[in-house]
Amino acid sequence: MKKLHQSQTKLLEILKQNWDEELTIRDLQNRIGASSTSVVTHHLFQLEKKGYLKRNPDNPRDYQILLGPEKQIAYVNEYGPGQCGPNGSLLDGNPVDRIAISSRLLTFPSAEAFIVRAKGNSMSPRIKEGDLVIAKKTKNIDNGKIAVCVNNGEALIKKIQRENNKGEQKTILVSLNSAYAPFLAADDFRVEGEVRGVISRKI
């Protein structure tokens, strides 16, 4: 494990203790007593470079704290096809392959990642048949996010939409392709993961 500057160690501890708070760069500057926000930005970059932190480049407040440096290449389990159409296949927990990808492509620890291969065209244009869909394991997902889920015993990739009707919350599974109508989630509906990336089958 690479040695950390004392300010980097302090930053890491602050992020661990306040993982559920949206701390700004200015907040972090004040907490570690840094001379400027650029100093904080430098130390955050070093934490990421050394493998202790993984940040979403599109959202600086979206980050994952790693237990230690990750290897540059991560081998991520691929499971059965995630159906993007009317007929799905159950995720049975048995990986069909392990795919090597750069850990830098992930904005979260590789241990939480899994892959499904998209089938069908209901999630086009974002996800096309044959694409490798990278998901983060989770049982809970925010409204409006795209999930790998199980519904009626079938593995699906759908956008999750929650509506409150007279005090009763309903979950609606939505396709990005307007040719497919939204439908209510079944009693056995469960989320397997949140879609966090897509590797297109076309180079």
- The vertex-78 CA angle with 77 and 81, nearest 5°, equals 155
CB 160 within 8 A of CB 173: yes
DSSP code for 170: E
Of 99, 80, 75, 200, nearest in space to 150 by CA: 80
The answer to whether residues 58 and 120 belong to one domain is no
pLDDT of 179 higher than 70: yes
The answer to whether residues 20 and 82 belong to one domain is no
In a domain, 1, yes or no: no
- Winning range, highest mean pLDDT, from 73-77, 110-114, 127-131: 127-131
Whether the model pTM is above 0.75: no
pLDDT of 143 higher than 70: yes
The answer to whether residues 53 and 146 belong to one domain is no
Q: Comparing 122 with 15, which gets the higher pLDDT?
A: 122
Q: Of the ranges 62-71, 141-150, 157-166, which one carries the lowest mean pLDDT score?
A: 62-71
In a domain, 41, yes or no: yes
pLDDT at 185: 95
Q: Which residue has the tokens 């990739």?
A: 157
Considering its fold, how many domains does the chain have in total? Answer: 2
Q: 38: which residues sit within 8 A by CB, 6+ positions away?
A: none
Beta-bridge mates of residue 149: 156, 191
In a domain, 191, yes or no: yes
**Which residue range is the domain that position 90 belongs to?**
73-199
The answer to whether residues 81 and 127 belong to one domain is yes
The answer to whether residues 50 and 102 belong to one domain is no
DSSP code for 89: B
The answer to whether residues 54 and 91 belong to one domain is no
The answer to whether residues 130 and 149 belong to one domain is yes
In a domain, 96, yes or no: yes
The answer to whether residues 61 and 152 belong to one domain is no
CB 120 within 8 A of CB 85: yes
Q: 106 by DSSP, 3-state: which?
A: coil
For 3-46, the pLDDT digits (tens) are: 889 999 999 889 888 866 767 889 999 999 999 999 999 999 89
Supply the CATH number for residue 129's domain.
2.10.109.10
The answer to whether residues 50 and 148 belong to one domain is no
How does strand 154-165 pair with strand 168-174?
A: antiparallel
Residue that is last in its domain, among 20, 47, 65: 65
- Cα gap 5→143, rounded to integer Å: 39
Supply the CATH number for residue 18's domain.
1.10.10.10
For 49-90, the pLDDT digits (tens) are: 887 887 766 566 667 677 666 667 788 888 877 666 655 545
